[in-house]
Structure 1
Amino acid sequence: MNTKFQNKIAITIIRVIAALVVLILAFLIGRILLQGLPHVSWHFLTAPSESFVAGGGIGYQLFNSFYLLLLTLIISFPISLGAGLFLSEYAPKNWVTEVVRMSIEILSSLPSVVVGLFGFLLFVVQFKMGFSILAGAIALTFFNLPLLTRNIEEAMRAVPNLQREAGLALGLSKWRTITKIILPEALPGIVTGIVLGAGRVFGEAAALIYTAGQSATSMNFSDWNPFSPASPLNLMRPAETLAVHIWKINSEGIMPDADAVSAGSSAVLIIAVLIFNVLARYIGNKLYRKLTASK
């Protein structure tokens, strides 16, 4: 068997595997959308859910999902950025750094239900936050921190050392070299980390059952005072997200149209994740071109 033939076989196998991955993804997304989209309407997206009667919507759950995602990213991204920057650019090669990296890997392998129970015991019970958006956001920060940190670290490590040497040779300090050269160049990888983390947060249910709760309280969308009990911005109110709602209605079995609501909610969840991915990559590419002056 000559080398060219072996090369053709290897390339063919790789292409088949890549096509198989795309087909599996297309099958999953297509099946969920085909089953769920017929049940999606403006009323379904905006109306509150109903427990014992048919015709409810997912308005509160959809808002809670985006609100919780935003809060989690606001809390976790600065911490992850600082940790990734330190590990990539400043951390010495010693046992302390290895312990930090090992701790991050262990934290990333924890099951989400364990993170949820930890958040329940610490934030809900010990800190007396109750089932609240804030408790859920902090629990999801622990859940999301390792993934974001590793992605940011790897994105910065992928920038060639010549870029660092060029910045230092021009008289820039190490900090300015990082902020003006390394971070803009690593931006696409950082955006990828944000997208992956956001997808996990948006679809997470187990950790939120024990922290954010399983009830969607009534909200007054004309009241934007974060200290008001009925305000959508209130951090201390319980907040059932879309993923928790799907799990709840399928486990309780008290909703007459549970199958339709579950299918529609799954379709909305998939569409929301896809839209977030597209928007995040679009904004990331725009920022990358602006910061690096590339076309």
Structure 2
Amino acid sequence: MTGFKLSRKTSRSLLWDRIATGCFYALGAVILLLVFWLLFTILSKGLPQISWDFLIKLPEEIDAGGGIGPMLFNSFYILFLSLLISVPIGVGAGIYMAEYAPNNRFTEILRICVESLSSVPSIVFGLLGLAIFAEYFGIGLTILGGAVSLAFLNLPMLARVTEEAVRAVPNELRHAAYGLGTTQFHMIRTVVIPTAMQAIITGICLVAGRAFGESAVIILTAGLSTSGEMWDFNLFSPGETLAVHLWYVQSEAIVEDARQIADKAAAVLVFVVLLINMVFRVPLWINNRKLRK
């Protein structure tokens, strides 16, 4: 009798396991279909119409046929500057919180503050950048202000992702490194960071994609215009990006082909975000395949 009850319980558990597995597969399929539908909808409207002239030409205020050259350049330029600031500081802060910070009340409060900053709306960082650069320093709406404000926006997320990635490294690896006579810094550099690198790169991908597509911060700190030059490296020039230009064209532009420009700009924006993820991911995939062999 007992064996019969155990058999029924096992059969019921297996049934629920199959049901749960099927539900999770169905949810995964729905999410994938939704993502592919969004990508297809955006890319199919814009990609066939994109030409090289569109990518390098200056925008037009009245006539049709304008391009996105300066805005596309500003997007990459501001993204590069923001990552140049946020990656060393964010990764360093995450390593400090995981490896060096003492386990006390101050550290817990600091960790809560960082987590809270990660969920603050981006427009708040835009207002902060506006107050610092436009009002306090009086330099106006510039590429520098936009890049630093984006770095402020991405720092909390990058620090938390790095901290969790470092904490996920097994302590056995640390103990083995210490057993070989290494110092803490050498252990972090040669053992912890290489092991946690994939998760850290994932965090950098997230903040890079967020920074490239951000508009609220850029509107308040870099402005709604460009210098009118294709390659303007001046940090104090206005820095309208592609995401801001997409919003402007869709909502306020008076050119007759505004909808076509918006469709093409959206396709370029999505394609570049996907490209950024591929650029960061492909070296990791190649490295993982080499390690498995």
Q: Residue type of the partner of 2:248? A: K
CA distance in 2, matches of 1:285, 1:186: 14
CA distance in 2, matches of 1:262, 1:209: 17
CA distance in 2, matches of 1:85, 1:287: 23
Q: Residue type of the partner of 2:279? A: L
Q: After the TM superposition, which residues 128-207 of structure 1 pair with which residues of structure 2 at under 5 Å, given as runs? A: 128-207=138-217
2:229 paired with 1:219: yes
CA distance in 1, matches of 2:146, 2:17: 51
Deviation per residue, 1:126-169 (Å, 9 max, x gap):
11221111100111111111111111111111111100000000
Q: Which runs of 5+ in 1 are unaligned?
A: 222-231
Please, which of 104, 129, 149 is the counterpart of residue 119 of structure 1?
129
Deviation per residue, 1:93-114 (Å, 9 max, x gap):
1111111111111111111111
CA distance in 1, matches of 2:253, 2:240: 17
CA distance in 2, matches of 1:20, 1:195: 24
2:3 paired with 1:14: no
| Contact 2:70–2:230, Cα closer than 8 Å, also in 1 | no
| Contact 2:225–2:240, Cα closer than 8 Å, also in 1 | yes
The structure that has the greater radius of gyration is 2
The structural deviation recorded for 1:255 is 1.9
| Contact 2:56–2:230, Cα closer than 8 Å, also in 1 | no
Q: Residue type of the partner of 1:2? A: R
Q: TM-score, normalised by structure 2?
A: 0.93
What is aligned with 1:227? none
CA distance in 2, matches of 1:217, 1:233: 10
Structure 1 stretch 72-81 or stretch 279-288: which is displaced more? Answer: 279-288
Q: Residue type of the partner of 2:246? A: I
Deviation per residue, 1:76-119 (Å, 9 max, x gap):
00110110001111111111111111111111111111111111
What is aligned with 1:85? 95
CA distance in 1, matches of 2:254, 2:273: 28
Q: Residue type of the partner of 1:234? A: N
CA distance in 1, matches of 2:230, 2:57: 13
Q: State how many pairs are aligned.
A: 283
Please, which of 94, 100, 106 is the counterpart of residue 96 of structure 1?
106
What is aligned with 1:277? 277
Distance 1:208 1:162, change over 3 A: same
| Contact 1:116–1:208, Cα closer than 8 Å, also in 2 | yes
What is aligned with 1:224? none
* Matched residue SS, 1:2: helix
Q: Residue type of the partner of 1:203? A: G
What is aligned with 2:43? 33
Q: Which runs of 5+ in 2 are unaligned?
A: 1-10
What is aligned with 1:225? none
CA distance in 2, matches of 1:148, 1:124: 26
Would you tell me which structure has more helix in proportion to its own residues? 2
